[in-house]
Amino acid sequence: MREHTPAGACARRGRHLFIVFRGTLSSGEKLSNWMAGRMDAVFDNLDRGGVHRGFHRCYESVREAVHGFAAAHASPERHIRIAGHSLGGALAFLAGMDIATGGLPFRTLEIHAFGSPLVGSARWARHYDRQRTATWRIVNRRDFITRIPPTLLGYRHAGTPVRFTSPRGVRPHGLSEAYLPALLEARAERAPLSSLRARCAAGAASTP
């Protein structure tokens, strides 16, 4: 079964629910990326937390579909997996917080954010990291997008970073050029995603 939203797709397979967000496509989404002012999210039970206004606006446009899908199929035996790239990575964080704080039953909740920008304030990031989630933030060291909005504006990353360095000449923020090859390499070696950090750090050390 598949249910599509303008920002991605939701699917159910056995005991697993999958929610996937794509990156920026429309001009409106590009504008939202630069709306760096913060606001309280409508769903995270945190006053004066502060998430990126543009990312929050994008998530609000799909929240009913995403939350409705999760609510319709969630159960104590379900495993929920959320993933996204770029803007989709930011939306994956917001969806993860929404589900984690929304009272829905689940067995495990995992978030995989590829090349995600910073999503919220230090207070929001701490609140996120206290939730019952396993969050992996996959970061290409050459990817500038993972460093904006800057921490000078009060933003902080949440989740556990898994870092790698793409080869020179590769578009550093590209999903197919940089992020998927690193993931496929780890899969080919039958390595868990969490081991990508150590392997890529070793590769980066040998790069001139």
Q: What does the pLDDT look like over 21-36, one tens digit per residue?
A: 988 654 444 444 445 5
Separation of alpha carbons 172 and 140, rounded Å: 7
CATH of the domain at 72: 3.40.50.1820
Q: What does the pLDDT look like over 136-191, one tens digit per residue?
A: 999 999 999 999 998 998 899 999 999 999 999 999 999 999 999 988 887 776 55
User: Residue 26's pLDDT is what?
Assistant: 47
What's the distance, Cα to Cα, between the start and end of the chain in Å? 48
Residue 50 in tokens: 């502060």
Q: How confident is the model at residue 43 (pLDDT cuts 50, 70, 90)?
A: confident
Cis amide linkage into residue 208, ω under 30° from 0: no
Residue 166 in tokens: 């793409």
DSSP for 31-72, please give it.
HHHT---EE--SSSS-TT--EEHHHHHHHHHHHHHHHHHHHH
- What is the number of structural domains in the chain? 1
Alpha helices in the chain (DSSP H): 27-33, 53-73, 87-101, 122-129, 180-188, 196-205
Hey, which bits of 86-177 come out as E strands?
108-114, 120-121, 134-140, 155-156, 160-164
Q: Residue 165: which domain range?
A: 2-205
Lowest mean pLDDT among 2-6, 85-89, 99-103, 130-134: 2-6
Residue 191 in tokens: 């390595």
Separation of alpha carbons 95 and 74, rounded Å: 14
The vertex-142 CA angle with 137 and 148, nearest 5°, equals 60
- pTM score above 0.95: no
